[in-house]
């Protein structure tokens, strides 16, 4: 391949689609972002729905904008990769969208055909599945999450007329995108294993699906959910079908037959785009090229609306309350665990926008041509000096926030957990807003430590954090991660691009595999080479807490853990009182 070959990555996030064109070194040539629609139910805060037609249209607009701005020929784009949120897309067997909104139109053709990852409608279905105690649950930390696809499919089955349900195809959204791009129905290991209860080594557990009331999937040899028994499931980046179909190529402004790589869930694409980074230290020295084995000691933290924590290991490690272990989810022969926080970026926005001083903070940021976060950080630093304390941790030592406003993904794995604040004052000023802001960042960092501790206690050996996503730009939060977790945080260059860069790597691997005849047995070696070559080096944020602040942080963590037990006990007491 010549140096003029390019690759496109497409990241379908919660609120937007992003397309990125890169060269073989991972250098950005062009980038474009397009917003996508989300429907909410004003009567039910749990409902989040989207449209595959709207998403696909945004994908086409974004890719065409990249081609136009970069002035490159579509024929020079050799590979295309997708990642997306782990949302449930529903179509008929022609690929036409099927409505997932509860009501008379449920199961008919229509626009709203995606149940977003954040949708928490399937509470009862998840409870029913978890009550079975099936061995299949061992591979999701002991409890299936209502954010996964099987509880959502069961929710649809329980409400949809059987004549409509049997006509449905169910896709994890990344797999829908490769299907729309190629018209090839082959699914990915990542989506099926991580979100659809496709088990390592054995595949579909037929008894599990019968036990939970989804025997229809089994009776049709799992054609509705993909991967009939004996059919191939693709490891990350392996070519899907014959590449772009003519219709998809026209939609995207690319060339028919362009290689399309088997997709990843967005967090796993973030892992792909960060974890192989070398590091530039304070003296400007570049670290040695990392080996694949080193990835076992690095956790990728992909932080946006929510946050995912992904680490791989050469053997499967079972961690209570943490998803996995998933075999071959990204690299063949390796196992992955995935922790997560259901609401982080969303939580920060909520705490800020609901505070009485929010409009004042916005006005100050506009007057100073800065961000609202910077206004609050400046306020905090001024308060620290006025109060003659050594750290912001000491400044906010009596203000505690527990962050599970939208349930706990891990390691408690309880969607009923709720957020709380203690230490509030009769203060509605921007000073109080700044303190709550810092306490929110602290809560997110403390929960990250909780997840990492659970992983390490179970057998992982994590020694560093590799960040990606929008929150990586928050320097205060990154320092808190380093101090609270007592380990370095690596920020790859352009860490905000890491997820979509990971998708572009899938496109490059697919193009290379098609030209060289790469077999899936070579995937681990070849994909790691691509990751090392295309991932830019990162900078390091080291822990710097003083001994006094370390004591305060340890006390904060102890209170954080106590908060969990208190909430569980209070909830049990109220349920007992209600039931009696």
Question: Which of these, 193, 196, 192, 182, lies nearest to 239 by C-alpha position?
Answer: 182
Question: Which of these, 47, 62, 150, 147, lies nearest to 106 by C-alpha position?
Answer: 47
> What pLDDT score was predicted for residue 518?
66
Residues 6 or more apart whose CB falls under 8 angstroms from that of 127 comprise none
> What pLDDT score was predicted for residue 287?
84
> What pLDDT score was predicted for residue 495?
76
8 A C-beta contact, residue 454 and residue 412: no
Question: Which of these, 193, 270, 230, lies nearest to 506 by C-alpha position?
Answer: 270
> What pLDDT score was predicted for residue 27?
94
8 A C-beta contact, residue 183 and residue 56: no
> What pLDDT score was predicted for residue 1?
39
**What are 92's strand-pairing partners?**
168
Query: What's the token pair of residue 376?
Result: 């609050």
Q: Where are the alpha helices (DSSP H) in 230-325?
A: 246-252, 266-272
> What pLDDT score was predicted for residue 580?
82
8 A C-beta contact, residue 467 and residue 499: no
Distances (CA, A) of 547 to 66, 143, 544, 552: 50, 39, 9, 9
> What pLDDT score was predicted for residue 39?
97
DSSP string, 18-86: EEEEE-TT--EEEEEEEE---EEETTEEEEEEE-HHHHHHHHHHHHHHHHHHHT--GGGEEEEEEEE-S
- Catalogue all structural domains in the chain, each as residue range(s) with its CATH number: 6-264 (3.30.420.40), 294-491+546-579 (3.30.420.40)
Residues in the chain: 580
> What pLDDT score was predicted for residue 2?
43
CB-based burial of residue 495 (10 Å sphere; 0-12 exposed, 13-18 middle, 19+ buried)? buried
Residues 6 or more apart whose CB falls under 8 angstroms from that of 561 comprise 450
DSSP string, 202-224: TEE-HHHHHHTT-HHHHHTTTTT
**For residues 542 and 468, what is the distance between their CA atoms, to the nearest angstrom?**
17
Residues 6 or more apart whose CB falls under 8 angstroms from that of 128 comprise 154, 212, 213
Per-residue pLDDT of the chain (580 residues; tens, 9 = 90+): 345 899 999 999 999 999 999 999 999 999 999 999 999 998 898 999 999 999 999 999 999 999 999 999 999 999 999 999 999 999 999 999 999 999 999 999 999 999 999 999 999 999 999 999 999 999 999 999 999 999 999 999 999 999 999 999 999 999 999 999 999 999 999 999 999 999 998 999 999 999 999 999 999 999 999 888 778 899 999 999 999 999 999 999 999 999 999 999 999 999 999 999 999 887 788 888 999 999 999 999 999 888 999 999 999 999 999 999 999 999 999 999 999 998 999 999 999 999 999 999 999 999 999 999 999 999 999 999 999 999 999 999 999 999 999 999 999 999 999 999 999 999 999 999 999 999 999 999 999 999 999 999 999 999 999 999 889 999 999 999 999 999 999 998 887 899 999 999 999 999 999 766 667 788 999 999 999 999 999 999 999 999 999 999 999 999 999 999 999 999 999 999 999 8
Extract the runs of DSSP E, i.e. beta strands, from 144-210.
168-172, 198-199, 203-204
**For residues 323 and 198, what is the distance between their CA atoms, to the nearest angstrom?**
13
State pTM to two decimals.
0.92
């Amino acid at each position: 391949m010549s140096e003029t070959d390019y690759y496109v990555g497409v990241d379908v996030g919660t609120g937007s689609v992003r397309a990125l064109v890169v060269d073989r070194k991972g250098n950005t040539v062009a980038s474009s972002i397009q917003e996508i629609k989300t429907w909410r139910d004003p009567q039910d805060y749990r409902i989040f729905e989207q449209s595959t037609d709207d998403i696909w249209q945004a994908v086409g607009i974004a890719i065409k904008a990249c081609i136009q701005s970069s002035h490159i020929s579509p024929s020079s784009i050799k590979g295309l990769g997708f990642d997306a949120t782990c949302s449930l897309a529903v179509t008929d067997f022609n690929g036409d969208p099927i409505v997932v909104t509860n009501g008379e139109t449920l199961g008919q053709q229509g626009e709203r055909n995606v149940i977003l990852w954040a949708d928490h409608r399937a509470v009862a279905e998840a409870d029913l599945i978890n009550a079975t105690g099936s061995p299949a649950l061992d591979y999701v930390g002991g409890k299936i999450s209502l954010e996964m696809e099987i509880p959502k499919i069961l929710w649809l089955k329980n409400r949809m007329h059987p004549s409509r349900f049997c006509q449905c195809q169910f896709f994890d959204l990344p797999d829908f995108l490769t299907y729309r791009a190629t018209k090839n129905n082959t699914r990915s290991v990542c989506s099926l294993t991580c979100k659809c209860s496709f088990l390592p080594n054995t595949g579909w557990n037929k008894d599990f699906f019968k036990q939970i009331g989804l025997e229809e999937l089994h009776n049709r040899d799992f054609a509705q959910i993909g991967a009939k028994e004996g059919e191939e499931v693709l490891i990350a980046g392996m070519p899907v079908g014959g590449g772009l179909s003519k219709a998809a190529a026209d939609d995207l402004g690319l060339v028919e037959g362009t290689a399309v790589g088997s997709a990843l869930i967005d967090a796993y694409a973030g892992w792909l785009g960060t974890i192989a980074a070398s590091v530039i230290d304070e003296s400007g020295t570049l670290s040695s090229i990392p080996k694949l084995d080193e990835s076992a000691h690095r956790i990728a933290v992909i932080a946006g609306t929510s946050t995912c924590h992904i680490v791989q290991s050469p053997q499967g490690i079972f961690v209570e309350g943490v998803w996995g272990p998933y075999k071959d989810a990204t690299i063949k022969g390796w196992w992955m665990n995935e922790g997560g926080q259901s609401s982080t970026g969303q939580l920060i926005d909520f705490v800020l926008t609901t505070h009485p001083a929010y409009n004042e903070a916005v006005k100050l940021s506009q007057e100073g041509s800065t961000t609202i976060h910077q206004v609050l950080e400046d306020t905090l630093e001024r308060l620290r000096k006025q109060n003659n304390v050594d750290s912001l941790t000491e400044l906010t030592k009596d203000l505690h926030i527990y962050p599970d406003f939208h349930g706990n993904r891990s390691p408690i794995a309880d969607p009923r957990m709720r957020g709380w604040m203690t230490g509030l004052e009769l203060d509605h000023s921007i000073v109080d807003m700044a303190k709550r802001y810092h306490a929110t960042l602290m809560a997110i960092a403390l929960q990250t430590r909780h997840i990492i501790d659970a992983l390490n206690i179970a057998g992982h050996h994590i020694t560093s954090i590799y960040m990606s996503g929008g929150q990586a730009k928050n320097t205060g939060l990154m320092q808190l991660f380093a101090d609270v977790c007592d380990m370095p945080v690596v920020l790859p260059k352009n860490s905000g691009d890491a997820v979509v860069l990971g998708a572009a790597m899938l496109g490059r691997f697919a193009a290379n595999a098609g030209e060289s005849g790469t077999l899936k047995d070579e995937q681990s070696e070849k994909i790691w080479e691509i990751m090392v070559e295309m991932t830019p080096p990162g900078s390091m944020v080291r822990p710097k807490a003083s001994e006094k602040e370390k004591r305060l942080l340890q006390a904060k963590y102890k209170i954080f853990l106590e908060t969990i037990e208190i909430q569980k006990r209070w909830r049990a007491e109220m349920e007992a009182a209600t039931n009696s």
